[in-house]
Amino acid sequence: MSAQASQRARSAIFARLRDADAPVPHAVPDVQGYYDGLPATPGDDATRFAERARGWQAEVIETTPEGWPAALAALVSERRLRRVLAGRDTAIADTLAAVLPSMDLHWYDESLETFKPTLFNEVDAGITTTLGGIAETGSLILWPDVREPRTLSLVPPLHIAILRASTLQPTLHAAMHAQGWAAAMPTNVLLVTGPSKTADIQRLLVYGAHGPKQLVILLVRDEAMP
Amino acid sequence: MSAVRPVADPLAFKDNARIVVADPVLRRSFRGAMDFLTDKRAAQFPDVAGFNRLRALGESIRQYALANLPQLLGQLEERLAERGVHVHWAENAEDANRLFLEIAQRHDAKLMVKGKSMVSEEIELNHRMAEHGIDCVETDMGEYILQLDHDRPSHIIMPAIHKTKEDVARIFAEHIPGAGYTEDVNELIAIGRRALRDKFATAKIGVSGVNFLVAETGSIVLVENEGNGRLSTTVPDVHIAITGIEKVIAKLEHVAPLFTLLTRSATGQAVTTYLNVISGPRREGEKDGPREQHLILLDNGRTQAYREERFRATLQCIRCGACMNHCPVYARVGGLSYGTTYPGPIGAIISPHLMNLESTRDLPTASSLCGACGEVCPVGIPIPDLLMRLREAARHDEPVAQQRKALKGQGGARRMLEVAAWKGWRLVYANSRIYRLVTWLATRCRRLLPGRQAGWTGTRVALRPAPRSLRERLAQRRPTPIPMDDTSKPAA
Amino acid sequence: MSPPVPALPTPRDVYFFATCVVDMFEPEAGLDAIAVLEHAGLRVTFPEAQTCCGQPAYTTGFPEEALRVARAQLDLFPEPWPIVVPSGSCAGMIHHHWPRLFAHDAELSKRARDIASRVVEFTDFVVGTLGLDLADADDAPVKVALHTSCSARREMDTLRSGRAVLAALPGVELAHHDHESECCGFGGTFSVKHPEISAAMAGDKLDAIAATGCSTFVSADCGCLLNLNSTLAKRGTPLRGRHVASFLRERLRIASVEHGP
């Protein structure tokens, strides 16, 4: 019944749209042209990224391809994170298993329905990989998938992200094209810029609204040095 | 802050405005809030030329989408269906609410968590669901505060901008079990977070609005800071998104400029915490995400705005709220006075199509046409022009131009006295002989004009013509009288 | 941004379109504007049959009435001279809206566009076209605030010209007021359809201007001045706004046109 009503509404809406004044033909928007015309930004992407991300209250730890596992282990130990959650079979999974105490490290293996009580109440931090970052805004690019579910970067109070500087893109527009988003669109693509926040009470900014209260980014400086 | 609670009816606009304007505390609070938002926006667009280039692109993207609206909606529907999203169409609020109810009943859901959605306000989703025993909980902090207090949003981006932290402290202490009274904003947000986490974990249905729909990829794009939008669209088994049919854009890459225009215009942020691009429910092997996803596409008067080219730009709006932040009228009367879902300048041009021109007749006139709204609009909507066209439609039973069709409530502000006054005005001003006679008489009889002039003399002295008009004084300095209708003689 | 009328060689002749408000309510402003123009060596032609640009009806939702009135002005400016208008919003109406008003008729539209291209707001004309030398003006110190009408600011870019005129006058200190770019609350029929909101805007504007401690304020729009001065008179305070042409004539020590030439 609802399907029929919806179809009736659809027909009526389309009939009205087609009955309207003929649209003035409009050229395809030149998005690329706009971005090509922007003045070049000075400095390297990694430095800009770190500065912008810190501006959004993300903690950025600059590290090296060799040094990041130890930096992560130190972070987990200093913050006394008792229950750290990560996705199995990712590019960093083996390293995590090697450097984090097995008592503290847990894998996101269950589906959300059964895992909810643990996820909502017991996990101290979620660790994720990233597909890249955006230098202009200090944003992380995440494509949650079967290994790293959407809630891994969302429900725990602390989100730790591993970001390789070589995957940074200058702008969102550049990232969409360089990484071929439109052709490969997964069920969820996220940009994450700093921890969650709100200014809904008297315009006073508070971090830690509904998502993570803190965001730590391990920025791995692996880009080719000139 | 104040016991003032404007009536949720656009016909009450003038009464509402009168009450608010007379309240100095409210006035100061609105002015402070608007100054904060306008300053933050200005800092994001330091150079006018740069803003104009980006705005031209945003305008072109929205115009392109509207120029191809039927095709894009068709393409969107196809892509979404391929991705397993159920697409529904609703002609009005009743249709949309019935769709929500049917989905809820199918899942035996008694609780919905809702991310911020102005379209859900437009259809009064919370009230309709409550009538059927379904609790629809607002999860945006501002909206949650308002829901607990049985209040309404006064701004489309900062819904609780009319509340102080003391108001929130009282509301939380009264309505959230176990919450003590605190005016510490960090504490208050922590209380809200705790109270709502339980709801996220237990609700069967999550509801959201939509910022952009991408036809090319079949994606629902959400822009937010708090994370409640992500939780509402990820944790519950079922996700229902609702939005107007105008929200579709052609290409994924169009999101990039619109996103930055939106966040910078709305709150003066270069970016929000989250940009959430959803393209379908949980897939095989994925451990979370909704198992079922629905998109409800609502008309509710949008096709009327679309019908005529001269109103179509109304639908370019990306709901940033910059026009209200910069509007001197909104800053003085606040959002609630409008009595509509969408307040301020954008509300004045969209509400007549969503409701009708008769019940919203006082909104298009509630502007001095100062142009601030049009100047800051990130997608170039000529808001003052649209206000004038609506004023015209409200004052003519039939459209002035023959080929046009009547709007809902066309002629709703037509008053014979006003019509006659303008006909009389035309008679005088379109004929220079009559005009000169009337000016001559008016200047001679200036003392006879009433001292009370409706609307004008409340706070001003009465208008009185000068003792002699400019033309008379110019004529007097001439050695010889200039013949009437001679248009080329120098004045001196 | 460029002034609506490019800096051409100074013309010998100009038309003066006074506007209905100046003709009936503020004739001094019109006389003073003409005095300044004549002082600069121009011959000023005042077409006797002029009435109004049609703006009041146009913005209220009566375009047909506005069109009839505007139509009656189309024949009044046959020579290719600039048309100086001492009111920004009226200049904006002619410059931006007349071409649209007559869009349905090719012949009228052509004439409307011709007139639109020649219309120039008084201050813009003084700064952009005349380049009047103000260095010899009275240099007695005076603190002045500037109120630019919104349509003048947004449609005609007269903010720059207004500031330029005041900056070029010796002894004049420009007093910036809070929320300077905000509307004064006039808006034609808005002021009587929504009197309380309009009054609140006018009140805030005047409070901000008064707070600068200026002795007067100037504007190039007689609608705004009518609104603000009527409010000040009701308040009973001595502060008054003046048309920029009157202020300019006084500072340039030019005799009123009625006493000369």
Cis peptide before C261, with omega less than 30 degrees from 0?
yes
CA B39, B45, B46, B52 torsion-angle sign: negative
Helices (H), chain A: 2-18, 31-36, 45-55, 68-78, 93-99, 112-121, 172-178, 181-184
Looking at every residue in chain A, the average pLDDT score rounds to 96
Residue B271 lies in a domain: yes
Give the pLDDT confidence of C3-48 residue by residue, as tens digits.
444 445 567 999 999 999 999 999 999 999 999 999 999 999 999 9
Give the pLDDT confidence of A121-150 residue by residue, as tens digits.
999 999 999 999 999 999 999 999 999 999
Same domain, C94 and C156: no
Contact, B122 vs B116, CB < 8 A? no
Whole-number pLDDT of residue C132: 87
Q: What single letter denotes the amino acid at residue B186?
A: N
Helices (H), C17-83: 20-24, 27-39, 55-60, 63-71
Q: Over range A193-218, report the average pLDDT.
A: 97
Whole-number pLDDT of residue A69: 98
**Boundary of a domain, candidates C129, C145, C168:** C129
Read off φ and ψ for residue C160, nearest 5 degrees. Answer: -60, -45
Residue C153 lies in a domain: yes
Query: Does the CB of B248 have a partner CB in chain A at under 8 Å?
Result: no
Same domain, C193 and C245: yes
Give residue B478's pLDDT band: very low, low, confident or very high (50, 70, 90): low
Same domain, C118 and C138: no
**Boundary of a domain, candidates B394, B414, B434:** B414
Residue A31 lies in a domain: no
Whole-number pLDDT of residue A42: 84
Cβ atoms within 10 Å, residue A162: 25
Same domain, C145 and C91: no
Same domain, B356 and B277: no
Residue B327 lies in a domain: yes
Looking at every residue in chain B, the average pLDDT score rounds to 94
**Boundary of a domain, candidates C129, C159, C184:** C129
Residue B30 lies in a domain: yes
Q: What is the CATH number of the domain that holds C184?
A: 3.40.50.11810
Task: Report helix angle B255-267 to B24-44, nearest 10.
Answer: 140
Shortest CB distance from B88 goes to which of A6, A197, A206? A6
Whole-number pLDDT of residue B79: 98
Higher-confidence position of B422 and C260 = B422
Same domain, C101 and C179: no
Whole-number pLDDT of residue A225: 60
Contact, C189 vs C157, CB < 8 A? no
Domain range for A51 is: 43-220
Over pLDDT 70: what percentage of chain A?
99
Residue B328 lies in a domain: yes
- Residue B89 tokens read as 């169409």
Is the predicted pLDDT of residue B489 greater than 60, yes or no?
no
Whole-number pLDDT of residue B449: 87
Is the predicted pLDDT of residue B74 greater than 90, yes or no?
yes
Query: Does the CB of B291 have a partner CB in chain A at under 8 Å?
Result: no
Residue A108 lies in a domain: yes
**How many CA atoms within 13 Å lie on the side-chain side of B476?**
10
Residue B54 lies in a domain: no
> Residue A23 has what DSSP assignment?
P
Domain range for B34 is: 1-44+321-414
Residue of A nearest to B296 (CA): A6
- Beta strands B85-90 and B292-298 are parallel
Whole-number pLDDT of residue B67: 97
Q: Cα separation of A105 and A96, whole Å?
A: 8
Least confident range from A69-78, B117-126, B397-406: namely B397-406
Same domain, B37 and B9: yes
Give residue B1's pLDDT band: very low, low, confident or very high (50, 70, 90): very low
Same domain, C45 and C146: no
Residue C259 lies in a domain: no
Kindly indicate whether the ipTM for this predicted assembly is greater than 0.90, answering yes or no: yes
* Cβ within 8 Å, pair B254-A29: yes
Whole-number pLDDT of residue B491: 47
Starting at the edge strand found earlier in the chain, the sheet holding C13-16 runs: C43-45, C13-16, C83-85, C119-121
Q: Over range C188-204, report the average pLDDT.
A: 97
Whole-number pLDDT of residue C3: 43
Residue A35 lies in a domain: no
- Residue B174 tokens read as 């009264």
**Boundary of a domain, candidates C71, C106, C129:** C129
Shortest CB distance from B57 goes to which of A31, A187, A211? A31
Q: Over range B104-121, report the average pLDDT.
A: 97
Burial class (CB in 10 A: 0-12, 13-18, 19+), B378: buried
Give residue B487's pLDDT band: very low, low, confident or very high (50, 70, 90): very low
Q: Cα separation of B444 and B447, whole Å?
A: 8
The residues near A178 (Cβ < 8 Å, ≥ 6 apart) are A169
Same domain, C112 and C168: no
Residue C258 lies in a domain: no
Contact, C178 vs C147, CB < 8 A? no
> Which three-class secondary structure state does DSSP give residue A195?
coil
Q: Which of A107, A201, A214 to mutate to test the interface with B (most CBs of B within 10 A)?
A: A201
SS3 sequence of chain B: CCCCCCCCCHHHHHHHHHHHHCCHHHHHHHHHHHHHHHHHHHHHCCCHHHHHHHHHHHHHHHHHHHHCHHHHHHHHHHHHHHCCEEEEEECCHHHHHHHHHHHHHHCCCCEEEECCCHHHHHCCHHHHHHCCCCEEEECCHHHHHHHHCCCCCCCCCCCCCCCCHHHHHHHHHHHCCCCCCCCCHHHHHHHHHHHHHHHHHHCCEEEECCCEEECCCCEEEEEECCCHHHHHHHCCCEEEEEEEHHHEECCHHHHHHHHHHHHHHHHCCCCCCEEEEECCCCCCCCCCCCCEEEEEEECCCHHHHHHCHHHHHHHHCCCCCHHHHCCHHHHHHCCHHHCCCCCHHHHHHHHHHHCCCCCCCCCCCCCCCCCHHHHHCCCCCCHHHHHHHHHHHHCCCCCCCCCCCCCCCCCCCCCHHHHHHHHHHHHHHCCHHHHHHHHHHHHHCHHHCCCCCCCCCCCCCCCCCCCCCHHHHHHHCCCCCCCCCCCCCECC
Give the pLDDT confidence of B374-392 residue by residue, as tens digits.
999 999 999 999 999 999 9
Same domain, C37 and C98: yes
Same domain, C92 and C186: no
Q: Over range B452-479, report the average pLDDT.
A: 91
Whole-number pLDDT of residue C2: 39
Higher-confidence position of B215 and B400 = B215
Q: What is the CATH number of the domain that holds B121?
A: 3.40.50.10420
> Which residues 440-459 on chain B approach chain C with CB closer than 8 angstroms?
442-443, 453-459
Higher-confidence position of B91 and B2 = B91
Q: Cα separation of B448 and B441, whole Å?
A: 11
Task: Report helix angle C195-211 to C222-235, nearest 10.
Answer: 80
Residue C8 lies in a domain: no
Q: Which chains touch A (3 or more CB pairs under 8 A)?
A: B
> Which residues 155-194 on chain B approach chain A with CB closer than 8 angstroms?
158-161, 163-165, 168, 185-186, 188-190, 192-193
**Structural domain count, chain B:** 3
Is the predicted pLDDT of residue C232 greater than 70, yes or no?
yes
SS3 sequence of A76-126: HHHCCCCCEEECCCCCCHHHHHHHCCCCCEEECCCCHHHHHHHHHHCCCEE
Is the predicted pLDDT of residue A214 greater than 60, yes or no?
yes
Q: Cα separation of B201 and B222, whole Å?
A: 21
Q: Over range B264-270, report the average pLDDT.
A: 97
Q: Over range C42-64, report the average pLDDT.
A: 97
Is the predicted pLDDT of residue C149 greater than 90, yes or no?
no
Q: Cα separation of B74 and C172, whole Å?
A: 64
- Residue A215 tokens read as 């965001």
> Which residues 143-202 on chain C approach chain B with CB closer than 8 angstroms?
150-151, 153-155, 181-183, 185-202
Angle at A81 between CA A75 and CA A87, to 5 degrees: 85
> Residue C255 has what DSSP assignment?
P
Whole-number pLDDT of residue C10: 64
* Cβ within 8 Å, pair C48-B388: no
Q: Over range B256-271, report the average pLDDT.
A: 98
Distance of CA C149 to the CA centre of its chain: 8
Residue B483 lies in a domain: no
Read off φ and ψ for residue B221, nearest 5 degrees. Answer: -110, 130
Same domain, C21 and C82: yes
Residue A4 lies in a domain: no
- Distance (Å) from the alpha carbon of B291 to chain C's nearest alpha carbon: 51
Whole-number pLDDT of residue C73: 98
Same domain, B231 and B297: yes
Residue C60 lies in a domain: yes
**Structural domain count, chain C:** 2
Give residue B4's pLDDT band: very low, low, confident or very high (50, 70, 90): low
How far is it between the farthest Cα atoms of chain C? 53
Domain range for C179 is: 132-251
Residue C5 lies in a domain: no
Same domain, B40 and B76: no
> Which residues 123-162 on chain A approach chain B with CB closer than 8 angstroms?
136-139, 144-146, 149-151, 154-155
Find chain B residues with C-beta within 8 A of A182's C-beta.
Answer: 216-217, 251-253
Residue C3 lies in a domain: no
Give the pLDDT confidence of B398-436 residue by residue, as tens digits.
887 776 789 999 999 999 999 999 999 999 999 999 999
Residue C257 lies in a domain: no
Whole-number pLDDT of residue B60: 98
**Structural domain count, chain A:** 1
Contact, C27 vs B466, CB < 8 A? yes
Cβ atoms within 10 Å, residue C239: 16
Residue B308 lies in a domain: no
Whole-number pLDDT of residue C258: 74
> Which residues 372-431 on chain B approach chain A with CB closer than 8 angstroms?
none
- What is the number of H-type helices and E-type strands within chain A? 8, 12
- Residue C249 tokens read as 């004539």
Q: Cα separation of B278 and B293, whole Å?
A: 10
Residue B314 lies in a domain: no
Same domain, B195 and B233: yes
Residue A119 lies in a domain: yes
Q: What is the CATH number of the domain that holds A115?
A: 3.40.50.10420
* Cβ within 8 Å, pair A31-B253: yes
